[in-house]
Amino acid sequence: MAVNVSSEALALQRLYQWESTTPDKVVFTQPLGGGQVVDYTWRQVMDQSRRMAAHLQSLGLQPGDRVALLSKNTAQWLMTDFAIWLGGFVSVPLYPTLAAGTIRQILEHSESKLLFVGKLDGWEGMKPGIPAGLPCIHHPLSPEDAKKSYPGWDAIVAKTEPLKGNPLRSPDELATIMYTSGTTGAPKGVMHSFGTFAWGVQSGLKRVPAINSSARMLSYLPLSHVAERTLVEHGVLATGMHVFFAESLETFTSDLQRAKPTVFFSVPRLWVKFQQGISAKMPPKKLDMLLSIPILGGIVRKKILTALGLQECTFAAGGAAPMPPDLLRWYNKLGLDLVEVYGMTENCGVSHATLPGKQRPGTVGLPYDGVQSRIDPASGEIQMKAPCLMLGYYKEPELTKQALTEDGWLKTGDKGALDAEGNLKITGRVKDLFKTSKGKYVAPAPIEDRLVMHNAIEACCVTGANLGQPLALAMLNIDAIKKAASAEGKAELEASLTAHVKAINEHLDPHEQLDCLVVTAEAWTVDNDLITPTFKVKRNRIEDLFAKNYDAWVGMRKTVVWHKA
């Protein structure tokens, strides 16, 4: 599909716009550690980006060469991307939690000619994935070993003259290759042009007027993920808003309170953690009672939102996984209407969203402007079409062909249905459906949405192909693991989980009801390949690891089964 977008909306033109009209406006605030931060104005951002672009060109890289980026979110992450584009190259961002084998696979598949190494945890485990001889440049906040091994950003910027003029890239030109997180196999390189991203963010902003020049956002979800790339990177290019970066998990609360974001996006799991943190300090029944008192309720709401750093938030959203309806209702009582968004790497994350102030729990709302959506009558699969669709999978023409219908619609892999208002309800994954031995199909996603609402469960997976009834596996969070270390705590936790499963089963059809909940001792991590870098559970890996135990677990005839590896 041809992308019809004005040249002024493209990434480089937006950079030149802010460089010339608001050079002294602070655009990035970067924590340095120990409570220290540094601000960057548009003038400084563009000066450093231009200097790094000139350096990349001096290395003999050819137009269109791929340049990779492995780092947590920082101001230099975005400046690096800008420099890659200014220099005429294509950026390849990698998740900052990848295992060495996956890093090597992506760098070799993309034929990246250079790698930027930035702020990382676990660098020692990642370093073996860097192919021998691949040139690297380290960012200011990179690990000490990287600083000793590679040339540094600051030194290069200090000695290099900035790139002159305002080079342009056409809307159809390849801008980036974004590798998917690989829930169903090897990561695929999704190709996006300058035009697809420009169209996507323009369509999205029509739905979200809160993202404007005075907006503030905290960037903490991986910029290598399409949601953060669209909302933060292309959001700041489109609007010139102020982006704050998070320092660490330990400082996340203070990072939020520093930014006081007016726009905040998170995956459902973090929204659940916020809720659980509040519930640990104030029992839900007491909170409900306080919120029901007119004047006092307003004071309590403000106090809770201020503690979260969200007291000035006017647009809050969740996505990347289903938002449990009960969670949406809970935040609504606090005066925070969460918008649920739906999208994929293959469409710049721009497909559907609920309308601000009009929550429709259980749905992901209506298509964005210019997005066409339909449900395949044969399979129930959601399909969509828009100018923000990918150019294809890099070096994978067959996979690209399989991802699209003959008439050019993207096969999302999700099953769905429409309500009376036309809101889209996601009912599960086409390939995740499984059939029990009774011949009944089970969609795991809605059951998992209910399971993860228990404050002890970090992640879960409902499975059971060819069993009489489904079963669920769950990984506990750190607090629950500590609690289960004592006999008394384990008994209390088991009773709570048993009651939770019973309550869920009461709302399920007979063929969907869980036979048991298996609590696994082993952590589900990226390293052991049980979850993706975006914390999606790899169902096929769960099956590989645990399927041999299913019959034995069911045979125990217990609601909660404790499994030790």
- Count other C-beta atoms under 10 Å from residue 376's C-beta: 16
- At position 104, the amino acid (one-letter code) is R
Q: Parallel, antiparallel, or unpaired for β 352-353 and 366-367?
A: antiparallel
Helix (H, G, I), strand (E, B) or coil at 45: helix
Query: What is the average pLDDT across 419-434?
Result: 84
pLDDT at 323 over 80: no
Question: Tokens representing 462?
Answer: 């409902």
Closest CA to 352 of 278, 426, 300, 299: 426
Q: What is the DSSP string of 291-335?
A: HTSHHHHHHHHHHHHHHHT-TT-SEEEE-SSPPPHHHHHHHHHTT
Specify the pLDDT at position 34: 86
Please, which residues bridge with residue 114 across strands?
Answer: 67
Task: Could you list the beta-strand ranges (E) of 26-125.
Answer: 26-33, 36-41, 66-70, 90-94, 114-117
Q: Is the dihedral of CA 293, 295, 296, 302 positive or negative?
A: positive
CB 82, CB 237: distance < 8 Å:
no
Tell me the per-residue pLDDT of 252-304, one tens digit each, with 9 for 90 and over: 989 999 999 999 998 887 888 888 888 888 888 899 899 889 899 899 999 99
**Of residues 43 and 309, which shows the higher confidence score?**
43
Q: Which residues of 194-217 are buried (b: 16+ CB within 10 A; e: fewer)?
A: bbbbbbbbbbbbebbebbeeebbb
pLDDT at 182 over 70: no
Specify the pLDDT at position 187: 84
Closest CA to 93 of 75, 67, 69, 74: 69
Q: Parallel, antiparallel, or unpaired for β 338-342 and 352-353?
A: antiparallel
Tell me the per-residue pLDDT of 252-263, one tens digit each, with 9 for 90 and over: 989 999 999 999
Q: Where along the chain do its domains lie?
A: 39-168, 243-429, 434-563
Specify the pLDDT at position 529: 81
Question: Tokens representing 36?
Answer: 């220290």
Q: What is the rounded CA–CA span in Å between residue 448 and residue 322?
A: 9
Specify the pLDDT at position 230: 94
Q: Find all residues with CB under 8 Å of 131, minimum gap 6, and list them.
A: 104, 107, 108
* 39-168 placed in CATH 3.10.129.10: no
Q: Which residues of 251-261 are buried (b: 16+ CB within 10 A; e: fewer)?
A: beeebbbbbbb
Tell me the per-residue pLDDT of 469-504, one tens digit each, with 9 for 90 and over: 999 999 998 889 999 999 999 999 999 999 999 999
Q: State the pLDDT confidence band at 455, using cuts at 50, 70 and 90.
A: confident
pTM of the model: 0.84
Q: What is the DSSP string of 445-494?
A: HHHHHHHTTSTTEEEEEEE-TTSSS-EEEEEE-HHHHHHTTSHHHHHHHH
Closest CA to 197 of 167, 159, 227: 227
Query: Residue 284, exposed/middle/buried by CB under 10 A (0-12, 13-18, 19+)?
Result: exposed
Q: Percentage of the chain surpassing pLDDT 70?
A: 98
Q: What is the rounded CA–CA span in Å between residue 414 and residue 184?
A: 14
pLDDT at 523 over 70: yes
Instruction: Specify the CATH superfamily of domain 434-563.
Output: ANL, C-terminal domain (3.30.300.30)
CB 415, CB 446: distance < 8 Å:
no
Specify the pLDDT at position 326: 82
User: In Å, how far are 211, 463, 468, 520, 558 from 516, measured between CA atoms?
Assistant: 45, 11, 12, 13, 6
Identify the CATH number of the domain defined by range 243-429: 3.40.50.12780
Query: What is the average pLDDT across 442-448?
Result: 86
Domain 39-168 and domain 243-429 have a common topology:
yes
Mean pLDDT over each residue of the chain, to the nearest integer: 91
From first CA to last CA, the distance across the chain in angstroms is 50
Q: Percentage of the chain surpassing pLDDT 90?
A: 66
